[in-house]
Amino acid sequence: MTFLSGGIGGARLAYAFQQWNRRAGLPCAFTAIVNVGDDFTHLGLRVSPDIDSVTYHLADLGDQHRGWGRAGDTDAAIREVQRVLPEAGWFQLGDLDIAHNAMRTHLLTEGLTLSEVTAKLTARYGVDMRVLPSTNDPSPTRVRFSGPNGTSVDRGFQEWWVRDRAEPLPQSFEFPLVASTSPAPGVIEAISGADVVVIAPSNPIVSIEPILAIPGIREAVERVSAPVVGISPIIANKPVRGWADRCLQVEGVDCTASAVAERYGHRNEGGLLDGWLVDEGDVTSSRSFPGRVAASPLRFTRGEEDFQIVDALFELAAKCEMQRSVNSHRSVNSLIPQSERITHSV
């Protein structure tokens, strides 16, 4: 099983998969492919916020309340930056986070790729799930605004998201370097060889689409014979946390579970998804999605609900797989004489 992931929504799903897998007593055969569009260099440190959210959650080190950073972390270093160099103090990094990012920067400086660094650090934290950056090439997300007299200006994603608290509403999001990137080693194989591909309940616009924009990744998801299922990050027309609503607004997408499914698109219509898992309250409004829709409580709690979400997701994937195999028989059937056709009831 392979899933595409951003930060907190993906990290919560990753933790749920890990616990589900451990309860089943199975060796971990799951792969997370994680967005690097938010990565940037700050205070000389190479920061990969989404990879770190996933890693910290899997290692059970994540701060559950804030949704980023390490539980119980202290902030002496960043407070010193804020005192002496306040213009560089806007990006919160706890002391342990700074140590973590210093280790990443050190290993990158030694010549390791981001994939190698991620593999090394996750292993050292005792994480047995495979965590792959979507690419080892720089592919920063930029946020574009209209300026005076028809001009436009752009800003780094973290400056807009963290420093400016997602204000003002931009004109567009851009991935200016993405065309010259390639998927990190193992990414395409992890998608092509998966028995299920999952799109995590992550921000569709600035977490999932920067992954899909890397040449070869969207195509691999489109081509995979396994079912592709997604989990809605939107519950009752609101993001569970963060400003995905603002990102969707920029793209003219309503902040609803069904509009996000439509954005990803149904596989039979040139999109990505066979199935879409929504919160129980969003079932009726999601009926317009032409693929399979299933419902479950969708808020991760690190308790029984997480197992329910994973069970519902795999059940949905199994139904989608059945449907796909029927459809492929149908398409093969259409090539052979009527009398020899295989028939199925679904």
CA distance readout (Å), 316 to 67, 230, 277: 28, 10, 8
Indicate whether 157 belongs to the interface with ligand GDP (CB under 6 A): no
Q: Which one of ligand GDP, Ca ion, none is in contact with 37 (Cβ closer than 5 to 8 A by kind)?
A: none
Binning the chain into helix, strand and coil, the percentages to the nearest 5 are 45, 15, 40
Output the smallest distance, CB 337 to ligand GDP, in A: 48
- C-alpha to C-alpha distance for 219 and 206, rounded to whole angstroms: 19
Indicate whether 12 belongs to the interface with ligand GDP (CB under 6 A): yes
Are 197 and 2 spatial neighbours (Cβ–Cβ below 8 Å)? yes
Are 55 and 125 spatial neighbours (Cβ–Cβ below 8 Å)? yes
Q: Examine residue 233 and say whether the peptide bond preceding it is cis (omega within 30 degrees of 0).
A: no
User: What value, to the nearest 5°, has the Cα angle with vertex 179 and ends 178 and 184?
Assistant: 65
- What x/- string results for residues 48 through 77 when contact with Ca ion is judged by CB under 5 A? --x---------------------------
Find the part of the chain contacting Ca ion (CB under 5 A) among 6-14, 105-113, 122-130, 170-178.
6-14
- 260's enclosing H/E stretch is helix 257-264
CB-nearer residue toward Ca ion: 7 or 291: 7
CB-nearer residue toward ligand GDP: 242 or 291: 242
Q: Residues 227 to 266: which contact ligand GDP by CB under 6 A?
A: 231-233, 235, 239-242, 244
Output the smallest distance, CB 297 to Ca ion, in A: 24
Q: Residues 290 to 329: which contact ligand GDP by CB under 6 A?
A: 298-300
The residues of the shown chain that bind ligand GDP, judged by CB under 6 A, are 6-10, 12, 50, 53, 201-203, 207, 231-233, 235, 239-242, 244, 298-300
